[in-house]
Chain A
Amino acid sequence: MIFFGASLLLILIGLYGALVKRNLIKIIIGLSIMDTGINMLIISLGFVKGGTAPIISLKSLFQKNSLLVDVSKIVDPLPQALVLTAIVIGVAVTAMALSVVIRMYSVKKSIEIDDFKELKW
């Protein structure tokens, strides 16, 4: 439950930064914080009480005399695999956004969003 609260807080902080700040770099930082919050939320969905990490390196995690794993002792690995994908995509998106900012700066010599008024009507 505490994970849910913390990730909700992170999502809202990031969204607030993206909505209120006028500096493009700060907006991207806000989006990154939101990304982290969403990743934490997805991971916390797979949490199991008393479970350990989904790495089977101990014999005691197996059921007796077989390679079948005791499910109740392991945290759900599926959300973690999905978040692994999401983190990499997040890095790619952040790099892409920063390069757009570099390009925008080279046009107007400013990274304040108020200086870009061409798309306003």
Chain B
Amino acid sequence: MRKIVAIVFLAIIGFYIISIFSAFQFGDKYKGVSEHYVKEGIIENRGANLVTSIVVNYRGFDTLGEVTVLFLAATGLSFLLFSCKCEREFKRIKSSLVLRTATDTLFPMILLFGAYIFIHGHLTPGGGFQGGSVIASGVMLLFLSFRSFHPNHKTLSTIEVLAGISFAGIGLLGLVYAKSFLANSVLPLGQWNRLISAGVIPLIYIAVGLKVGAELSGLISDMISTTKED
């Protein structure tokens, strides 16, 4: 009965989605604001990756809000998990020798790769969020292989706070030296397709990468610490 009702419901929703998009021509040219971003994005920002230009500069305020949402989710999660004195019943199992040896060699490389991704965010696919996630996956590997691993929460929150402040501070510098919040005319734009170019975009993405990495590591640590201590 429940499945039949669900399928009828899905059929209705599917019908409406199809009828909305049946008028849309996939694969056509675009106009308006996207055209401006593509055509003059290099002149205005010098960042080779146009998605980064949009995320950090044209829609930089949106990204600040996004970072705030992530922060709120991490805070809410630790509030939910630690506001009760529930008994902890799951135990972390001991990891194998293979995993521990692999972690020893892989962890520094994963950190380096994450840093590479967010430093080159304006040149190659990638950016702050992706690099931060890669760093957090390295921290998760540490959690999986060492049973008694505890990150220093003070350090994590210090990195988070400093990165957040520098993001907002770069935005305010734009307000002081140019005309708008997060304006990209504080630093010289430089040449196209070079590492040091695109004004403040790499700086903001480094801040975002550090913040996301610290935040997601803290989130993983919060979730894992609901297990029993030895």
Confirm or deny: B17 has a beta carbon within 8 angstroms of a beta carbon on chain A. Answer: yes
**Which residues of A57-78 are within 8 A (CB) of B?**
57, 62, 67-69, 71-72, 74, 76-78
**B124 pairs with A55, CB closer than 8 A:** yes
B40 in contact (CB, < 8 A): yes
Q: Is the CB of A84 within 8 A of B6?
A: no
Which residues of B have CB within 8 Å of A1?
Answer: 26
Are B29 and A99 interface neighbours, CB within 8 A? Answer: no
Are A45 and B24 touching (Cβ within 8 A)? yes
Nearest Cβ distance between residue A40 and chain B, in whole angstroms? 12
State the CA gap A19–B18 with chains docked (Å): 21
Query: Which A residues lie within 8 Å of B222 (CB)?
Result: 99
Q: Which are the 8 A-B pairs with shortest beta-carbon distances? A: A92-B73, A106-B86, A81-B54, A54-B50, A19-B6, A49-B27, A77-B50, A99-B77
CB of B132, distance to nearest CB on chain A (Å)? 9
Chain A contacts of B143 at CB under 8 A?
none
User: Do A106 and B84 touch (CB < 8 A)?
Assistant: yes
Taking Cβ atoms with an 8 Å cutoff, the residues of B that contact A are 2-3, 6-7, 9-10, 13-14, 17-18, 21, 24, 26-30, 33-35, 37-43, 48-51, 53-55, 59, 62-63, 66, 69-70, 72-74, 76-77, 80-81, 84, 86-87, 123-125, 127, 129, 133, 192-193, 212, 216, 219, 222-223, 226
With a CB–CB cut-off of 8 A, which chain B residues contact A84? 51, 55, 127, 129
Please list the residues of chain A having a beta carbon within 8 angstroms of any beta carbon in chain B.
1, 3-4, 8, 11-12, 15-16, 19-20, 44-49, 53-57, 62, 67-69, 71-72, 74, 76-78, 80-81, 84-85, 87-89, 91-93, 95-96, 98-100, 102-103, 106
Interchain nearest-CB distance for A48 vs B (Å) = 6
With A78-B34, A88-B70, A95-B77 as contacts: A67 and B48 at CB distance below 8 Å: no
Whether B34 and A57, one on each chain, are in contact in the complex, defined by CB atoms closer than 8 angstroms, is no
Task: Say whether B66 contacts A85, CB under 8 Å.
Answer: yes
A50, B204: Cα distance in complex, Å: 32
Contact B80 A99 (CB under 8 A): yes
**Contact status of A4 and B54, CB under 8 A, knowing A15-B13, A48-B28:** no
Is A88 touching B54 in the complex (CB atoms < 8 A)? no
A67-B42, A81-B55, A84-B55 known; A54 vs B3 contact (CB < 8 Å): no
Q: How distant is the Cα of A16 from the Cα of B41 in the complex, in angstroms? A: 41
Q: Is the interface of B mostly helix, strand, loop or mixed?
A: helix
Q: Which A residues lie within 8 Å of B48 (CB)? A: 55-57
Q: Is the CB of B77 within 8 A of A78?
A: no
A3, closest chain B residue (CB): B26
Q: Which residues of B contact A88 (CB under 8 A)?
A: 66, 69-70, 129, 212
Across the interface, do A95 and B129 meet the contact criterion of CB distance under 8 Å? no
B120 → A minimal CB distance (Å): 11
Q: Is the beta-carbon distance between A77 and B223 smaller than 8 angstroms?
A: no
Per a CB cutoff under 8 Å, which of B14, B55, B86 touches A8? B14
Rounded to whole angstroms, the CA-CA distance of A19 and B7 in the bound complex is 9
A96 to B86, alpha carbons, bound, how many Å? 18
- Taking the closest CB of chain B, its distance from the CB of A2, in whole angstroms, is 9
